[in-house]
């Protein structure tokens, strides 16, 4: 989305003026940083809650619904989303 706003600006296609391109890029970089950061924080919360509820599941002899490979997937996607969020904010600042 931010790339589209920049490509449609005066540097490439010239559909938008410089001011609109600048505002759109700032808004979209901010939005993408907040969204990816929020999803990463939410996934981190799910992972933390999963480990907090482990003792409760053991007490009532309930098996774990989340397989180990799904938990591994959750970990690396959380890390990837956090890195993406940092990258979006880096683009916003610099």
SS3 94: coil
Cα distance between residue 46 and residue 40, in whole Å: 10
Q: DSSP code of 16?
A: S
Q: How many CB atoms lie within 10 A of CB 50?
A: 16
Q: Is the CB of residue 56 less than 8 Å from the CB of residue 64?
A: no
Q: What is the pLDDT along the chain (94 residues), one digit of tens a residue?
A: 788 888 888 988 999 899 998 999 999 999 999 999 999 999 999 999 998 888 888 888 888 888 889 989 999 999 999 999 999 999 999 8
- pLDDT value at position 63? 83
Name the helix (H) or strand (E) containing 2: helix 2-7
């Amino acid at each position: 989305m931010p790339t589209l706003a920049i490509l449609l600006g005066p540097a490439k296609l010239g559909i938008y003026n410089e001011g609109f391109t600048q505002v759109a890029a700032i808004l979209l970089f901010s939005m993408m940083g907040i969204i990816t950061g929020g999803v990463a924080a939410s996934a981190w919360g799910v992972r933390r809650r999963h480990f907090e509820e482990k003792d409760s599941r053991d007490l009532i002899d309930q098996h774990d619904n989340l397989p180990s490979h799904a938990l591994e997937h959750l970990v690396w996607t959380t890390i990837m989303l956090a890195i993406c969020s940092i990258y979006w904010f880096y683009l916003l600042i610099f």
